[in-house]
Structure 1
Amino acid sequence: MHRVRAALRGAERLALDTAPLLQRAGISPLLLHDDGARVTPSQFARLVRVLYTATEDEFLGLAPRPSRLGTFAMMCYASIGCAELGGALRRGVRFYGLFPQGPDLDVETVDGTVRYTVHNHFPDDPDHFLSECLVVIWHRLSSWLVGRRIPLLWTEFAYEPPAHHAEYEAMFGCLPRFGAPVTRAAIDARWLRAPVVQDEASLEVLLRRSPTDLLSRRTWDTTVAEQVRHALVRALREGVRLPELGTVAARLAVSPATLRRRLRAEGTSFQSLKDAVRRDIALASLASGHEPIAQLALRLGFSEDTAFHRAFRRWTGTTPGAFRHEGPATATFGWETGRMGDWPERAGTMPEIERFRHTGLC
């Protein structure tokens, strides 16, 4: 209940009636006076959304100046185009640095750790709610970007322990330190090289559910196969040839042998995933009808046109030219014939083709 009262502080400062706001979030106003009362994560997330709208401020009226609705979304769109987490974090910090009296954030690497610091002291936020939210959302957004839960090494806060200090370990997943010079948190610096595996489609889902997913301690663990697939797709999006297993393993901070073993445990292999990505993008490109077949073969890493034609016939039962001129009705897809072996998913359905068509890959 302390955090509910803290979240309402800005609305109260703006002279808004908080009782109907609480009711819209499914929270009884009578609970405000019960220090032992609790609300569910979904109720609290709804309250934050209600407060966004009521205050017209993503900082809930707790900062010297409001952050207009949509600012966080644009920061995410700016950051998601980066290849690695380090670039995404730096771009997010630069984005918020454009706004006067906005959050004064900093990301620096010290002694093998990445330290994310909130330098602001918000005078209208005596509960330090906004500062803590900035740390929470940065950390969980980082985990979402790379599709893996990033453990915090430590957190420290620029104030003395509050009455509810026992909750901080559950909230941040590590023991907190109070009375520090600034509020900040640290992760292992190796995470800076982790590939960003999300795209605009998955970001739109996150934003539709924001802040629920960022406040509910989601882990965003993805399978190793999904991480490999994202790395391969991103390489093609950036106009470079598909990386080999050793390169992808290095980006995922594992050895090639470990990557092979983990993919085998998930019922697939690096070559199968590579073929799946090649096939999906080939189908999407041929369906769009613009890219020359020889150029497509080269972009997909085939040494010659005949090798691409053999692979495409193996995947679909038809040739690239026939597929382009007559459409998918000519194809016999791998999941129908059983030729796909250990592919982890059904690739190449028409919805899948449409998904790749809108990624800018073709």
Structure 2
Amino acid sequence: MGKGTITVHHVRAVLRGAERRGIDTVPLLQAAGIPPLLLGDDRARVTPVQFALLFRALYRATQDEFLGLGSAPSRPGTFAMMCCASLGCRDLGGAMRRGIAFYRLFPGGPDLALTTDGPEAVFAVRGDLGGRDEDRFLTECLLIISHRLCSWLVGRRIPLLRASFGYPPPAHKDEYPSLFGCPVRFGQTRTEAVFDARWLTAPLVRDEAALEQMLRRSPFELLSRRAYGTTVAEQVHRDLGRALLASPRLPSLYETASRLALSPATLRRRLQHEGTSFQQLKDAVRRDAAIAGLAEGREPIAELAARLGFSEDTSFHRAFRRWTGTTPGAYRLGQ
């Protein structure tokens, strides 16, 4: 939703369907190691492992592949059968059209569409899923999973030219470019992903054995966040993350610019153009590492702080509260 942490917005959103069904979500959160109190702070984040555990728990509790977020349930096994049906096609275009036709067989299923506009292919999620997906979580999942399934089918990542969303930008809008690996636009007429139409003629390279293996990890493998490296910010984030694994001291802007074959001024300018800064990326790398360390629960907080480059526990506590709205101790005790 990768190694980066996930905004609490997605945690709240994925719980909506179960809450509407009257399912007690507190035990599900606790089983995933997510402190329920985190849901009250917009700055809070969770690890991909925690989110995947919650997703699986909700899947079991709702017995619905759409987790209660669609206008009608999708029985377990539906996605697998759609994949089996699509696998028999000769090329990607045929597989996509067959998958869309498959879901149209079910009353209340998602309204998906594939069209071409000159050199561009457009995959769209139309409608509002019965008005039950107010957070647009299921809508965005359909877009992400469809794109990544298509890439899996042809054995190569299909670059998206752009992604558009038929609603205003959310508070976590800055995460979308790295999530989709392309420019994003909000407030558009519909929600869609656009790619080069030549991909529609790409042959499928997967067989039933590969599909069976993929389905064991699906949809979590397809949904897990990808770092596509298509922006300077992603390249810097990856460089800083690798550096932190080796040493508490993160490289300076000048050192990072040199590794990327850029001048420091050019690096600053490009990061600013992408809506971030070198300091924000350093904070994000340390924040994600801190949350992951606390979630694992084995490392003493003082040792974790030192490993992340903090000379004093108090400075780590202040930084963690600024990042997440809570303290390291409260985060760990709440799990």
Task: Please state which band the TM-score falls in when normalised by the shorter chain.
Answer: 0.5 to 0.7
Shift of 1:45: 2.1
Match of 1:13 in 2: 20
Checking the alignment, whether the CA contact within 8 Å between 1:148 and 1:219 is kept in structure 2 is no
| Cα-to-partner distance string for 1:301-329 (whole Å, 9 max, x where unaligned) | xxxxxxxxxxxxxxxxxxxxxxxxxxxxx
Aligned residue among 95, 116, 140 for 1:88: 95
8 Å contact kept, 2:92–2:201: yes
Q: How does 1:170-181 map to 2 (within 5 A)?
A: 170-181=178-189
Distance, in Å, in 2 between the alignment partners of 1:203 and 1:24 is 29
Deviation digits for residues 248-298 of structure 1 (CA, Å, limit 9, x no counterpart): xxxxxxxxxxxxxxxxxxxxxxxxxxxxxxxxxxxxxxxxxxxxxxxxxxx
Deviation at 1:34, TM superposition (A): 2.5
Structure 1: state its 5+ residue gaps: 221-362
Distance 2:124 2:195 in 1: 12
Could you say which residue in structure 2 is the equivalent of 1:79?
86
Asked if residue 103 in structure 1 is aligned to residue 110 in structure 2, the reply is: yes
Aligned runs of 1:319-358 on 2, under 5 Å? none
Answer 1 or 2: higher relative contact order, Cα 8 Å, separation at least 6.
2
Match of 2:50 among 43, 58, 74: 43
Output the amino acid matched with 1:126. Answer: E
> Is the 1:48–1:211 contact (alpha carbons within 8 Å) kept by the matching residues of 2?
no
Structure 1 counterpart of 2:73, one-letter code? P
Match of 2:256 in 1: none
Aligned-pair CA distance for 1:195: 1.3
CA deviations on 1:91-125 (whole Å, 9 max, x unpaired) are 00000011111100001111211100111213111
| Aligned-partner Cα distance in 1 for 2:207–2:227 | 18
1:134-192 C-alpha deviation (Å, 9 max, x unpaired): 00000010111111111111111111111111111111111211111111111111111
Letter of the aligned partner of 1:142 in structure 2? Answer: C
Residue among 63, 72, 77 paired with 2:70: 63
Residue in structure 2 matched with residue 150 of structure 1 by the alignment: 158
Aligned alpha-carbon RMSD (Å):
1.5
SS at 2:45 equivalent: coil
The answer to whether the aligner puts 1:140 opposite 2:148 as a matched pair is yes
Q: Kindly, what percent of the aligned residue pairs are identical?
A: 63
Say whether residues 1:32 and 2:39 are aligned partners. Answer: yes
TM-score w.r.t. structure 1 length?
Answer: 0.59
Q: Would you say the 8 A contact 2:181–2:227 is kept in 1?
A: no
Work out the CA distance in 2 between the residues paired with 1:211 and 1:46: 12
SS of alignment partner, residue 153 of structure 1 = strand
Tell me the distance in 1 between the aligned counterparts of 2:226 and 2:84.
20
Residues 118 and 131, structure 1, Cα contact 8 Å, conserved in 2 = yes
1:88 Cα deviation from its structure 2 partner: 0.6
Whether the 8 Å CA contact 1:149–1:219 is kept in 2: the answer is: no
Secondary structure at the aligned position of 1:27 is classed as coil
Alpha-carbon separation, structure 2, partners of 1:92 and 1:219: 26
Question: What's the counterpart of residue 169 of structure 2?
Answer: 161
The amino acid of 2:51's aligned partner reads F
Q: Which secondary structure does the structure 1 equivalent of 2:121 belong to?
A: strand
Cα pair 2:63 2:76 within 8 Å, conserved? yes
Q: Secondary structure at the match of 2:123?
A: strand
Greater Cα offset, 86-95 or 25-34: 25-34
One-letter amino acid of the counterpart of residue 79, structure 1: S
CA distance in structure 2 between the aligned counterparts of 1:44 and 1:82, rounded to whole angstroms: 33
Point out where structure 2 has 5 or more consecutive residues left out of the alignment. 1-7, 229-335
Contact (CA 8 Å) 2:160, 2:182: kept in 1 or not? yes
User: Who is 2:11 aligned against?
Assistant: 4
